[in-house]
Amino acid sequence: MDEIRKIIHIDMDAFFASVEQKDNPELKGKPVAVGGSGDRGVVAAASYEARKFGVRSAMPSKIAAKRCPHLIFVRGRHDRYKEISNQVMNVFYEFTDLVEPLSIDEAFLDVTHNKKNLPSATIIAEEIKKRIKEETGLTASAGISVNKFLAKIASDYRKPDGIYVIPPKKVEDFIADLNIDKFFGVGKVTADKMHKLGIFKGKDLRERSLLELSRLFGKQGAYYYQIARGIDDRPVNPNRIRKSVGAEHTFEKDLAEISEVRKDMMKSAEDLHKRLKRSGFRGRTLTLKLKYSTFEQETRSKTLLHEIHGLDFIMNLADDLLNQGELKNSVRLIGLTVSNRIDETEPVQLTLNF
């Protein structure tokens, strides 16, 4: 008989905003949004006090301020967030080496066999939450179940500062009654499509055959078929490989002239260069993203035989991409991303310009 896995998903509560409230006691208990407050600003994170007014991440700051007139905007401090994230990750490694970070503020842990030989995943989650509080002064929420899919969903059920467990015997009933738009891996577009097909809950999805779901959703169809039955065999991968590094900026006002876009593009190039150095990421493909005032998006890419390396090289390559065609409209956002990762065992190859 296969051993039942014990998977925990830990998610820091309103992480960026909570860090700001911790570092500045005057913000405690007040509605806080991390992000720019200008007309073109975007909310990166919102405190729970702000969320009560309907303020959410990725929301334009202008709308957030209308929903919450007393909203306090704070500029993000990513170095500080990374510092505390490292403290949190170190707590995870006290219990298991099978840690798979999903982002700066959340991770999966496989505690089936743990360093402290604790018999219960719930006890481990409680200990982890306690240690995080001791180390950082912040709270986290935990979801516990037999696989990653269920643990991820469970972590949202007792936020903030809670624990929710989906035990093996309750998996089928839990999924049967779960709204389809709550399924991890089902986005808004897919959920809308499923609703039109009469699929509203897990039990509706479970009624569809593998053949039908594959026909309707392609490769993802097999995934939906499996998770509708509570099956997710994906291991917690401690060696998850980063696929890209990027930087982007939303302008205070739309830019119509290519010379203006070029000037601001260089700021993205500088940020990208810093992030590449900090992460150690090496890649061969540079992608330029342009988002127009109409919200239409365009990407232009170039792949090289060697590593994209150095600020001047990034700037020159980005300029080549910008010059590939005319602007379709005025530009509201520009982004640069390096991808097509070079394996760590490959030697560094650089071009020399004479």
Give catalytic residues, as residue numbers. 106
The dihedral through the CA atoms of 212, 166, 92, 79 has a sign that is positive
Residue 155 CA to residue 101 CA, distance in Å, equals 15
Residue 68 CA to residue 137 CA, distance in Å, equals 26
- How many residues in total does the chain contain? 354
Residue 177 CA to residue 185 CA, distance in Å, equals 17
**Cβ of 334: how many Cβ atoms within 10 Å?**
24
β-bridge pairing 106-110 and 99-103: antiparallel
> CA 196 → CA 51, 190, 193, 210, distances in Å?
30, 10, 5, 19
DSSP string, 114-176: -TT--S-HHHHHHHHHHHHHHHHS--EEEEEESSHHHHHHHTTTT-SS-EEE--GGGHHHHHH
Residue 92 CA to residue 76 CA, distance in Å, equals 25
